[in-house]
C-alpha cells in the first residue's frame, strides 16, 4: 500500500519517522520511507491551512495514494477529551471564513457566498463520509473540529466559537488537509492528539511531549492495520 502522511511540522512527525526505514528524498518537503508492507511518503507542509492545502494538493497531483493521513496536535474544547488523547477528526470547518456584522459573525454560507452543500462542503462542513476501514482508527473517538488562523485564547472568543460551531477540537491545518483530500477524491483520515485545553494561553499546562508520544504510537498502529 502506498501511503502519504502529512504533518505541519517536523516535530510532530519526527518520532514516527524514526520508526520507518528511509528510502529517498522525493523533492522539497517530501521524503520516502518504508514500513512493512507499505511505501510511506512523508510531507511536512509548514504551519497553517493555506500551506497544508497547497502542499497536499501539489503532492496529490504528482502521484496516487491508497491512503492519506494527516497527523498533528490540537487543542480540546471538551473537558472529556483530555491532553494526550488521540482523536479522529471526521468533520471540520474554517471557523473564520465569513464576516463581522457588529457583534455578530456571519459564516460564508450565511452571507450567501457558499451554499451549505457546495462541493466539497456538506451541511456547511468538510466531512469525511468514507474514512478508511482500519481497526486502530475505528477505535478512536470521532470528533468535530474547527480550523483557525488564530488559536483561541480568550474567554469571550472561546465562548463565541463554541456557541457557533460546537467544536470538540481545533487545529491550524485540518480543514485545509480535508479540503484538498475531498477535491482529489482520496481515502483519508485526520488524526490528532490533544496537547492542551483551549483556554487563556497557559503553556505550563500543555502536554505536547505526551501528545506527540500518543500520536506516534497511534499512527504506527494505523500503518500496521492499513
- Count: domains in the chain: 1
pLDDT for res 22: 95
Q: pTM score, two decimals?
A: 0.95
For residue 141, the 8-state DSSP code is: P
What is the residue whose three cell numbers read 468538510? 126
pLDDT for res 201: 85
Q: What is the CATH number for 164?
A: 3.40.50.1580
Query: With bands split at pLDDT 50, 70 and 90, how would you rate the model's confidence at 190?
Result: very high
Q: What is the residue-averaged pLDDT of the chain?
A: 95
Q: What are the pLDDT digits (tens) for 18-62?
A: 999 999 998 889 999 999 999 999 999 999 999 999 999 999 999
pLDDT for res 80: 86
- 194 contacts 143 by C-beta, under 8 angstroms: no
User: What percentage of the chain reaches a pLDDT higher than 90?
Assistant: 87
Q: What are the pLDDT digits (tens) for 78-105?
A: 888 999 999 999 999 999 999 999 888 9
- 141 contacts 85 by C-beta, under 8 angstroms: yes
Phi, psi dihedral angles at 179 (to 5 degrees): -60, -45
CA distances from 47 to 10, 81, 136, 166 (A): 10, 23, 27, 24
In three-state secondary structure terms, 9 is coil
Domain of residue 132 covers 2-225
Q: What are the pLDDT digits (tens) for 147-166?
A: 999 899 889 999 999 999 99
Q: Is residue 203 predicted with pLDDT exceeding 90?
A: no
Amino acid at each position: 500500500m502506498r501511503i502519504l502522511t502529512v504533518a505541519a511540522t517536523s516535530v510532530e512527525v519526527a518520532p514516527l519517522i524514526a520508526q520507518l526505514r528511509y528510502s529517498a528524498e522525493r523533492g522539497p518537503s517530501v521524503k520516502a520511507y518504508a514500513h512493512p508492507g507499505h511505501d510511506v511518503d512523508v510531507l511536512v507542509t509548514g504551519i497553517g491551512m493555506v500551506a497544508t492545502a497547497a502542499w497536499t494538493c501539489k503532492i496529490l497531483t504528482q502521484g496516487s495514494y491508497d491512503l492519506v493521513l494527516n497527523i498533528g496536535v490540537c487543542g480540546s474544547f471538551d473537558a472529556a477529551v483530555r491532553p494526550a488523547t488521540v482523536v479522529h477528526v471526521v468533520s471540520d470547518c474554517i471557523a473564520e471564513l465569513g464576516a463581522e456584522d457588529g457583534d455578530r459573525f456571519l459564516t460564508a454560507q450565511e452571507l450567501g457566498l457558499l451554499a451549505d452543500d457546495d462541493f466539497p462542503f456538506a451541511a456547511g462542513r468538510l466531512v469525511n463520509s468514507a474514512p478508511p476501514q482500519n481497526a486502530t482508527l475505528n477505535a478512536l473517538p470521532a470528533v468535530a473540529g474547527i480550523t483557525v488562523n488564530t488559536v483561541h485564547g480568550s474567554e469571550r472568543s472561546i465562548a463565541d466559537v463554541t456557541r457557533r460551531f460546537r467544536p470538540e477540537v481545533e487545529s491550524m491545518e485540518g480543514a485545509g488537509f480535508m479540503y484538498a483530500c475531498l477535491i482529489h477524491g482520496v481515502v483519508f483520515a485526520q488524526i490528532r492528539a490533544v496537547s492542551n485545553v483551549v483556554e487563556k494561553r497557559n503553556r505550563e499546562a500543555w502536554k505536547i511531549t505526551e501528545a506527540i508520544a500518543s500520536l506516534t504510537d497511534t499512527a504506527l498502529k494505523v500503518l500496521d492495520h492499513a
